[in-house]
Amino acid sequence: MQVGDLLAERYLLRQELGQSGTGIVYWAEDQDLGHSVALTATSPSILHDPLARSSFLREAQALATVRHPNIVTVFDVDEQAEFMTMEIIEGSDLAQLLKGPRRLATTWVAHLADQVAAGLDAAHASGLVHGDVSPANIVLEGENDVPVLCNFMLSESEDWAGKRLYASPEQVRDEPATRASDIYALGCVLFHCLAGQPPFTGAKASPEGDVRRFAPALPEAVQDVLARCLAKQPRDRFPTAGAAAAALRSALTPRQQPVVRERPLPPPPPPTGRTSRALLAGCVAVVLAAGITGGVAGVRSVDPAVDSDPSVATTLPAPEAELLAMLPPTVYGTACTPLERRTGDVAAVTCTSVPGMGAEKLAVYRWRDAAAMQADFQASYVNNPDYLPGQCATGNGRHSRWQRDGQIVGGLACGTNTSGFATLTWEYDDRAVQVVAMRSDSDNAALYSWWNEARRTPLN
- What was the pLDDT predicted at 324? 85
Q: Establish if 436 belongs to a structural domain.
A: yes
Distance between alpha carbon 23 and the CA centroid of its chain, in Å? 23
pTM (two decimals): 0.58
The residues annotated with a catalytic role in the active site are: 132
In this structure, the answer to whether residues 47 and 115 fall within a common structural domain is yes
Last residue of a domain, one of 302, 337, 371: 302
Query: Is 459 inside any structural domain?
Result: no
- Intra-chain end-to-end CA distance of the chain, in Å: 48
- Residue 453 vs residue 307, higher pLDDT: 453
Note whether 237 and 184 are within 8 A (CB): yes
- In a shared domain, residues 147 and 169: yes
Spatial distance between the Cα atoms of 382 and 209, rounded to a whole number of angstroms = 43
Residue 309 falls within a domain, yes or no? no
Of residues 413 and 237, the one with the higher pLDDT is: 237
Same domain? 153 vs 205: yes
Q: Are residues 350 and 397 in the same domain?
A: yes
On the CB side of 257, how many CA atoms lie within 13 Å of its CA?
9
Do 432 and 285 lie in a common domain?
A: no
| Least confident range of 62-71, 259-268, 345-354 | 259-268
Residue 40 lies in a domain: yes
pLDDT at 276: 32
Considering the domain architecture, whether residues 86 and 235 belong to the same structural domain is answered as: yes
**Which pLDDT does position 294 carry in this prediction?**
31
Identify the domain containing residue 29 by its residue range: 1-302
Q: Give the number of other Cβ atoms within 10 Å of residue 272's Cβ.
A: 13
- 275 with 381, same domain: the answer is no
Residues 335 and 248 in one domain: no
Residues 234-291 have pLDDT tens digits of 999 999 999 999 999 999 876 544 333 333 333 333 333 323 333 343 454 344 333 3
Domain count, the chain: 2
Q: According to the model, what pLDDT value does residue 38 have?
A: 87
Which residue from 387, 377, 373, 457 is spatially nearest to 418, judged by alpha carbons? 387
276, 302, 328 - which closes a domain: 302
pLDDT tens for 162-178 read 456 788 888 888 888 89
207 and 332: one domain? Answer: no
Query: What is the spatial distance between Cα 428 and Cα 160, in angstroms, rounded to a whole number?
Result: 52
If asked whether residues 327 and 272 sit together in one domain, one would say no
**Domain for residue 354, yes or no?**
yes
